[in-house]
Amino acid sequence: MKLFGKEVSHPRFQDFLGDFIACAISDLNLDYDDHDIILGSHAGATKEEIQIPVILYEGKKKVRNFSN
């Protein structure tokens, strides 16, 4: 299963992932009022962006698979 796309990942792809990855479950957004620039925000509304597999792990143990 390709969680981050169908193509071959860049060799250093995993080097740029953090310890945790978060997915929004509502239409709420965190805003940074004290900054003049947008630090980052993305949300897609296409079918392909909404219907993504979600698999939770705690350590090396799979906790739950929401992709079924």
Domain ranges of the chain: 1-26+39-68
pLDDT of residue 61: 73
| Contact assessment for residue 65 and residue 13, using Cβ atoms and an 8 Å cutoff | no
pTM for the full model? 0.29
pLDDT of residue 42: 60
Query: How many whole angstroms separate alpha carbon 22 and alpha carbon 30?
Result: 13
Backbone dihedral angles phi then psi of residue 16, each to the nearest 5 degrees: -100, 0
- Per-residue confidence of the chain (68 residues) as pLDDT tens digits? 566 777 788 888 888 777 777 766 777 766 656 656 655 556 666 776 667 666 777 777 777 776 65
pLDDT of residue 36: 60
pLDDT of residue 52: 66
